[in-house]
């Protein structure tokens, strides 16, 4: 299991220059950092992700403000990724509506090793809360992402008891050229836990 920490900000309060410099210091190509910075200026939110052995770093932009679920095809997330195998890739997440839509649920279930997670999310999520569903289709990745953080679902009721008390944020699955078939999930953590995670190798 690959463990990662994702830290996000609203763009207007984000330390953009510090994030860009951190990515450059880590080894992300300057052209990729510049591209992220350009998109960040027009985004609602930004983020940075590192894995526990610091072999991968990713910068994200999030552009969902005012986007209706039915606006299919719009890019809602962009991931500027330096992967553990040394490759770099831009992944664009296209809005496909809501996880509950039959075609989206069928695609996610067919591209997940844990389809019961999806069924449990739909049982627990309030009917009035949207579960934004997006997809990536490029030469490096064929996958889906469901953003479920607004539903306030306890991850222990979906992923397993060890995560009881943790808010489930995102869940994803598919096929990645670098790591093969995968399933992933993000849960909420405290600032102190993130600091301990990052200090793991120091």
Q: What is the pLDDT of residue 201?
A: 62
Place of tokens 């770093």: 57
d(CA 39, CA 142): 23
Q: Is residue 70 predicted with pLDDT exceeding 70? A: no
> How does DSSP assign 13-31, residue by residue?
GS-HHHHHHHHHHHT--HH
Burial of 65 (0-12, 13-18, 19+ CB in 10 A): exposed
Give the pair of three-digit tokens for residue 14. 């984000």
DSSP state, residue 152: -
Question: Of 90, 101, 182, nearest to 136 (Cα)?
Answer: 90
Please measure the distance between the N-terminal and C-terminal CA atoms of the chain and give it in whole angstroms.
21
State pLDDT tens for residues 73-129. 789 999 999 998 889 999 999 999 999 999 999 999 999 999 999 999 999 999 999
Q: What is the pLDDT of residue 197?
A: 86
Place of tokens 């463990």: 3
d(CA 88, CA 84): 9
Domain chopping of the chain, boundaries: 4-201
Q: What is the pLDDT of residue 66?
A: 56
């Amino acid at each position: 299991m690959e463990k990662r920490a994702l830290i996000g900000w609203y763009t207007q309060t984000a330390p953009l220059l510090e994030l860009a410099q951190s990515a450059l210091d880590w080894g992300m190509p300057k052209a990729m950092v510049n591209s992220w910075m350009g998109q960040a200026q027009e985004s609602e939110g930004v983020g940075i992700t590192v894995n526990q052995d610091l072999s991968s770093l990713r910068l994200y932009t999030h552009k969902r403000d005012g986007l209706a679920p039915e606006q299919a095809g719009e890019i809602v997330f962009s991931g500027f990724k330096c992967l553990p195998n040394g490759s770099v890739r831009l992944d664009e997440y296209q809005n496909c509506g809501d996880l509950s839509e039959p075609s989206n649920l069928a695609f996610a279930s067919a591209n997940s090793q844990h389809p019961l997670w999806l069924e449990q999310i739909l049982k627990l999520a309030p009917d009035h809360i949207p579960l934004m569903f997006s997809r990536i289709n490029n030469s490096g990745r064929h996958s889906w992402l469901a953003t479920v953080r607004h539903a306030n679902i306890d991850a222990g009721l979906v992923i397993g008891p060890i995560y009881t008390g943790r808010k489930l944020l995102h869940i994803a699955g598919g096929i990645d050229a670098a790591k093969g078939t995968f399933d992933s999930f993000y849960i909420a953590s405290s600032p102190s836990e993130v600091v301990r995670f990052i200090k793991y190798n120091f």
